Structure 1
Amino acid sequence: MSAAPVQVEYLYGIDSSVADDSRFYEPSRVVKFRITKKTPKRIYYVRCDDRQTTGFVDRQRIEADGEIYSRTRGWWSPDFHLYLNPPELEQATKPDLGQLKAAMAAAHPDRGGTDAEFIAAHARYENARTQETSA
C-alpha cells in the first residue's frame, strides 16, 4: 500500500526589487513560500532568505480576506504582503513612439504649443526611445 502524495501548499508574495541604479532593474515577480504547518490560529511558512527561517500569519484573517500584511516585515520584503492565491501583476505597456512623436509635434511652439509643453513632450519621447533601445 502506497500512501497518497501530500499536497504542497504555498503562500504568495511579490518581489519588487528596487535598485538605485536603473541598470539593475528587474520587473516584479511572484514568489512562493512553502507552507510547513497549519494550526487553527496560524499558518507557518518558510521564508525565502538564506537561513530558511520560518514565518507565520494569522490563519483566520488570511483565509477571510485572501491576503494579509505582516507587521514584523519591512515593506521591501517579499513576505510583507502575502496572498492565498497567486496575485496578478500589472505589466507595464510599451509606449507607442508614433503617438509620442505626434504629441511632441503638436506641442511645438510653431504649432500653438508652449516651450514648457514641448520640452515635456520631447523628454517623454526621448525617455521612451532610450528604453526601447535598451530593452
Structure 2
Amino acid sequence: MSAAPVQVEFLYGIKPGRFDANDDWQPESVVAFRITKKTPKRIYYDAELYGRGPRIRFVDRHRLETDGEITRRGQWWEPDLRLHTEPPQTFPPQWDLELPRLKAEMAAAHPDRGGTDAEFIAARARYKNARTKETSA
C-alpha cells in the first residue's frame, strides 16, 4: 500500500527590489513560504530568511482566507510582511529598469572619469528627466 502524497501548501510574499553591492538593480521577486501547520485560528509557516535556520511565524487564518492576503507587523524589507494565498504578480515600474542604467551612463560620462562636459550635461539631463517622470507617475 502506498500512502497518498501529502499536499504541500505555500503562502507567497514579495521580496522588494534593491540595489546589490555592485549598484545593479535587483527587481522584486515572489517568495514561497511553506505552510507547516494549520489550526482553526492560525496558519503557521516557515519564514527561513537568508539561511538563518527555521523561523516559524503565524498569521490569522480567518483574515487570510477571507481576504486572500494579510499584512503582518514587521520590517518593510521582509518578504513575508504581506502574505498572499496565491502567487502575486509583480509588475516593476519602467523606471526600475531605466533609472539605474541612466545613472551609470551619467557616472561614466563625468569629466573625472574621462568624459566631456557636454556628454555629462546631456547624460544628467536624461537622468533628471527620467526621475521627474517617475515622481509624477
Q: TM-score range by the shorter chain?
A: 0.5 to 0.7
What is the rounded CA distance, in whole Å, between the counterparts of 1:55 and 1:12 in structure 2? 13
Provide Cα deviations, 1:51-75, integer angstroms capped at 9, x if missing partner. Answer: 211010000000000000112x111
Aligned to 1:102: none
Q: Which runs of 5+ in 1 are unaligned?
A: 97-118, 129-135
Instruction: Note the 1:3-14 alignment, pairs <5 A.
Output: 3-14=3-14
Residue 21 of structure 1: CA displacement?
Answer: 6.2
Aligned to 1:59: 61
**Which residue type is aligned with residue 85 of structure 1?**
E
SS of structure 1 residue aligned to 2:87 = coil
Provide Cα deviations, 1:15-39, integer angstroms capped at 9, x if missing partner. Answer: 0143486714210000000000000
Instruction: Note the 1:1-135 alignment, pairs <5 A.
Output: 1-19=1-19, 23-49=23-49, 50-71=52-73, 73-93=74-94, 123-124=125-126
Percent sequence identity is: 53
Q: So what's the TM-score if we normalise by structure 1?
A: 0.66
SS of structure 2 residue aligned to 1:5 = coil
Q: So what's the TM-score if we normalise by structure 2?
A: 0.65
Q: Which runs of 5+ in 2 are unaligned?
A: 99-120, 131-137
SS of structure 2 residue aligned to 1:36 = strand
Judge conservation of contact 1:47–1:79 (CA < 8 Å) in 2.
yes
| Distance change in 2, residues 1:80/1:124 (3 Å) | same
| Distance change in 2, residues 1:11/1:90 (3 Å) | same
Structure whose alpha-carbon radius of gyration is higher: 1
| Distance change in 2, residues 1:18/1:85 (3 Å) | same
What is the rounded CA distance, in whole Å, between the counterparts of 2:29 and 2:59 in structure 1? 21
SS of structure 2 residue aligned to 1:11 = strand
Residue 6 of structure 1: CA displacement?
Answer: 0.3
What is the rounded CA distance, in whole Å, between the counterparts of 1:63 and 1:78 in structure 2? 19
SS of structure 2 residue aligned to 1:124 = helix
What is the rounded CA distance, in whole Å, between the counterparts of 1:77 and 1:25 in structure 2? 18
